[in-house]
Structure 1
């Protein structure tokens, strides 16, 4: 019987959802693609850049490229917060704290919708908590954009997935 990690890895490799490893491999095989890739990034949608940056942050635990997508005065909130946090440094700290909860995590985007200044992302995240316990949860993130940057970020997810194993129904 395969572990859920192995099953998830196999599924992720079969999906066409922004596999950073494949992008890196293509650039190593064809170094000239690096320049073309960086030029193409400027024309990629903000939704695509956000999804790729989040997956890169999950893989590397480095949040710089993700934080760069936010405007200087952006705000971020989830249901656990009483008030949104504001500014890039607070947003950087949020993403660093988020990633520190996991030994490893991978988000798989199942649906995206882009409208005038709004992006909705449906996703499932699967991995291992820092305690070693496996986790799988899903949610929706809403990004309001202005001038090609995230101005407001709100995320809603199944917080019951984070309860201790004995407390889950």
Structure 2
């Protein structure tokens, strides 16, 4: 496994690399539980790169929050699942509605130049999504209000939707399977 990391490092930045182990660095904190190794790896990397002194026993919550926000907005919606499966600490953060809302607005602000629109447009469409259980299948889905829609990846916009055709349903299939019908609108 170490050989794979060395090859990856050379691919990213060819040249001489300095390898560190816990024995090479004095005063390095040790993790005391088995569910926060990812947190410690990120802190080690951050402190080594910043040439900081290891003055932590655990990841400061605000630093971890910002790191996970960056991961979520760079990788999009799929990152929420991967991060929540990584460890209990990550799951506790990324499942908070306030975290999801903040990540959503970071994404939304990365795809829309709000200065180009009226204040009313911004108030109407700069709104968070909700997580909703589908009325037919019961699956949780990302229920987007009318407005801008994407997969949460910074800078990637999938479209603009001005209506919600299947209120309470994750898809047209669930809507139809639950007895829903399209309304015939006369123009």
Structure with the higher strand share, 1 or 2? 1
Give the TM-score, by structure 2 length: 0.29
- Greater fraction helix: 2
TM-score of the two chains, using structure 1 as the length reference = 0.31
